[in-house]
Structure 1
Amino acid sequence: MADPITITRTVSIDPAELDETFVRSSGPGGQNVNKVASAVQLRFDLVNSPNIPAPMKRRVAALAGSRITKEGVIVITSNSHRDQPLNRAEALSRLVALLREGAFVPKPRVATRPTLASKKRRLEGKSVRSAVKRMRSRPPGED
């Protein structure tokens, strides 16, 4: 049995949960590109994965965006290399990076108000700019 893929210290996924499909790739490869299936489509069923907690599933689904299907399957395509093993490794590393990013709870933003000093600096800058523009115009009464 293959070793589990570690996401965090507490979360890991079984390689059996991953489904790899090899397709023909566009891009570099010369005559080889029409014969060899070097691109990789990596599929991971996020919704039915028993190893990932529900809050993490929600965060990962939001981060995945268009890479997740309606059924909750993450599809990652890699075709940047001419070599199939390199594309496999890149697709797997992109999936692990996505899962790691979703593993951490984002710190909630606390709304703050501008300080009195920053308000005064802003208004002072506006009045200086206004004076510069006023000096550029024609003097009043000159026609």
Structure 2
Amino acid sequence: MDLTLLKSELTYKYVRSSGSGGQHVNKVSSKAELYFDLHNSAVFNDDEKQKLSEFFNKRLTKENILILACDESRSQFRNKALVTQRFIALIEEGLKEEKIRIPTRIPRGVKKKRLKNKRINADKKANRKPPELE
């Protein structure tokens, strides 16, 4: 995956942040919104696009555009860096290959120990009963 090519496909938009901040918040657009068009991307092949589409199924718009936003910082530059970092982490997580689980056998000693403890417990409870008189 070529990060420089991927970053060149990103589009940013800056809007006013919500929340408190006094008079300054009404003048400055510090919230960074990142837009990424998944299906028109040249970075990924068709299989990777399909995998990412399934990974982002709830986050994509109807036009298959991923939108991420960040307004954690008062700095527009810092918010842009944070949202880009978050986007790259999501892409890497979406492309990660699942490990194939190899089922293992339960060791013989573990089975014997379980049955032994079960037998001890059964004997303990059997000894609690009053003896049967004939």
Shared topology, TM-score over 0.5?
yes
- Secondary structure of the 2:56 match is helix
Residue 20 of structure 1: aligned partner: 12
Q: 1:30 aligns with which of 9, 16, 22?
A: 22
| Alignment gaps of 5+ in structure 1 | none
Q: Note if contact 1:67-1:74 (Cα within 8 Å) is conserved in structure 2.
A: yes
Give per-residue Cα distances to partners, 1:40-60, cap 9 Å, x unaligned.
110101111122112222232
Structure 2 distance, partners of 1:127, 1:83, is 68
Structure 2 distance, partners of 1:27, 1:120, is 63
Amino acid paired to 1:79: D
- The size of the alignment, in residue pairs, is 128
Matches within 5 A, 1:2-21: 6-7=2-3, 12-13=5-6, 15=8, 17-21=9-13
Structure 2 distance, partners of 1:12, 1:126, is 62
Matches within 5 A, 1:15-94: 15=8, 17-27=9-19, 29-94=21-86
Q: Note if contact 1:28-1:82 (Cα within 8 Å) is conserved in structure 2.
A: no
Q: 2:92 aligns with which of 97, 100, 122?
A: 100
- Secondary structure of the 1:74 match is strand
Per the TM alignment, residue 14 of structure 1 is displaced from its structure 2 partner at its CA by: 5.3
Amino acid paired to 1:6: D
Structure 2 distance, partners of 1:39, 1:124, is 64
Structure 2 distance, partners of 1:50, 1:39, is 27
| Alignment gaps of 5+ in structure 2 | none
Q: Note if contact 1:29-1:82 (Cα within 8 Å) is conserved in structure 2.
A: no
TM-score of the pair, normalised by structure 2: 0.71
Q: Note if contact 2:2-2:43 (Cα within 8 Å) is conserved in structure 1.
A: no
Q: 1:80 to 1:119 in 2, by over 3 A?
A: farther
Per the TM alignment, residue 95 of structure 1 is displaced from its structure 2 partner at its CA by: 1.2
Per the TM alignment, residue 28 of structure 1 is displaced from its structure 2 partner at its CA by: 5.5
Structure 2 distance, partners of 1:19, 1:100, is 19
